[in-house]
Each structure stands twice: as C-alpha cells, then as structure tokens.
Structure 1
C-alpha cells in the first residue's frame, strides 16, 4: 500500500504542482506584454487568461499532493519525523503564498484586461491594481517555486531514509 500511495503522491506532484510552478513563473512577463500597447497585446491577453486558469485549476488539483503525502506518511509510520513536519509547514507556506499573493495578483491583471476590453468605468483603477500586483508577482512566484523545491529536496534526502542514499 505504501508503494502505491507514494507513487500516486509523486505522480500528483509532477502532474499538478509542475504546471502551477510553470504558469506562475510565466505569468508576469506575459501580463506585462498584455498590458502594454503593442502588436503582441492580444496574444499576451490570451496567454494571461490561460496561465491564470492553469494556476487556478491545477492548484485545486494539487490539493491531492498533501493529502496523498499525509496518507503515505501514515502508512510508512513517519508522521512524527522532523523532515516531514518541515515539509508540511513549507507546503502550507507555499499554499498561502499562492492563495494570498499570486492568485490575487493574477486576477488583478485579468480584471484589468477585461475592464479595458469592455470599456468599464473603473478600468483605470483595475489597471493600477494590476500594475501594483505585477511589481511583486515575480518575487512571490519565485518564493512559491522555491518553497516547493525545498519540499522536493526534503522528500528526496529525508533523514533516516531507507534508500541508502
């Protein structure tokens, strides 16, 4: 049972967290293109909407990763290990960064694009909010990805590993 859960946990990590990591990394550059006046604006806007959707959908699917991880840890009898507790805390921090900083900044950019396209009266306010979000979005995306990288490293080199590595 442990091997099945571990396999599902790793598979879910790759398939669900990987796309989020890529989407949040690509988003700031594409959003700048979409919000700038230029020939690539329309394709940039489409990319921004797609990357935001990928972030939202795969983040929800990514909830399977900690669920499967905790199930795997229980079956393997490592729930009290420090490396696992650290991984759980870092996963929670990554989720918080995503939900509190990354997704709202992405949503602000999408709202600004939608507001400009529809000629909404508060389009200028949406654009200002989007530009504020884009100032910190590359950093928060980097923090999100760094937290996940540390979790992966902890999973691979976990203390007391029986792999002999």
Structure 2
C-alpha cells in the first residue's frame, strides 16, 4: 500500500504542481505584453486568461499531493521525522505564496484586461502586482524545488535514501 500511495503522490506532484510552476513562470511576460497593447495584445490576453486558469485549477488539484504525502508518511511511520516536518512547512509556505501573492496578482491583471477601459485603481493594482509576480513565482518554484530535493534525499532519515 505504501508503494502505491507513494507512486500516486509522486505522480500527482508531477501532473498537478508542474503545470502550476510553469504557468506562474510564464504569466508575467504574457501579462506585460497584454497590458502593453499592440498587435500581440489579443493573443497575449488569451494566454493570460489560460495561464491564470491553469494556475487556479491545477492548484486545487495539487491539494492531492500533500494529502497523499501525509497518507504515505503515516503508513511508513515517518510522520515525526524532521525532514518531513520541514518539507511540510515549506509546502504550506508555497501554498501560502500561491494563494496570497501569486493568485491575487494574476486575478488583478485578468480583471484589468477584461475591462475596455480599466479604472485607474484597477490598472495600478494590476501593474503593481505584475512587478512582483516574477519574484513571487520564483519563490513558489524555489520552495517546491527544495521540497522535491528533500523528498528524494531525506536528510537525517532513518528509513534510508
């Protein structure tokens, strides 16, 4: 059972977290092009909407990753190991970055692009959040990279690597 849950956990991470990592990384450049206008605006706007939708949908599906991870850890009897606790905290931080920083900033851009002539405050929120999006996307991706390495290396693990 542990091998099945572990396999599902890894598969869910690849299929659900991977697309979010790519979408949040691609979003700022496409959003900048969409907000700038020009001949590429329609294509960039469609890309922005799609990338935001991918971020939202796959983030929800990504909840399966820690759920299956906890199930796997319980079956393996490793819930109290330090590396797993640290990885869990980093996972919660990554989710927080996505929910509190990335998603609202993306939504502001999508909202601004939905308006024919966006209000000044909406445009200010969209462009202000857009300036921070590459950094917050990088933080989100870095947190997941560290969690992934910890899952493979399992520093200090008594179960072997």
The TM tier, using the shorter chain, reads: over 0.9
Structure 1: runs of 5+ lacking an equivalent: none
Deviates more, 1:138-147 or 1:154-163: 154-163
CA RMSD of aligned residues (A): 1.1
Q: Which residue of 2 aligns with 1:97?
A: 97
Is contact 1:115-1:126 (8 Å) kept? Answer: no
Shift of 1:37: 2.1
- For the residue of structure 2 that corresponds to 1:103, the secondary structure is helix
Deviates more, 1:153-162 or 1:47-56: 153-162
User: Is 2:132 the partner of 1:150?
Assistant: no
Task: Measure the CA separation in 1 of the matches of 2:17 and 2:158.
Answer: 24
Shift of 1:152: 0.1
Task: Measure the CA separation in 2 of the matches of 1:17 and 1:161.
Answer: 27
| TM-score, with structure 1 as normaliser | 0.94
Q: Which residue of 2 aligns with 1:131?
A: 127
Task: Measure the CA separation in 1 of the matches of 2:84 and 2:159.
Answer: 15
Q: Which residue of 2 aligns with 1:24?
A: 24
Q: Which residue of 2 aligns with 1:63?
A: 63
- For the residue of structure 1 that corresponds to 2:137, the secondary structure is helix
Is contact 1:16-1:61 (8 Å) kept? Answer: yes
Task: Measure the CA separation in 2 of the matches of 1:37 and 1:23.
Answer: 21
Shift of 1:163: 5.2
Shift of 1:38: 1.0
| TM-score, with structure 2 as normaliser | 0.96
CA deviations over 1:113-156 (Å, ceiling 9, x no partner): 0013xx4xx53321111000011110000000000000000000
Task: Measure the CA separation in 2 of the matches of 1:82 and 1:76.
Answer: 14
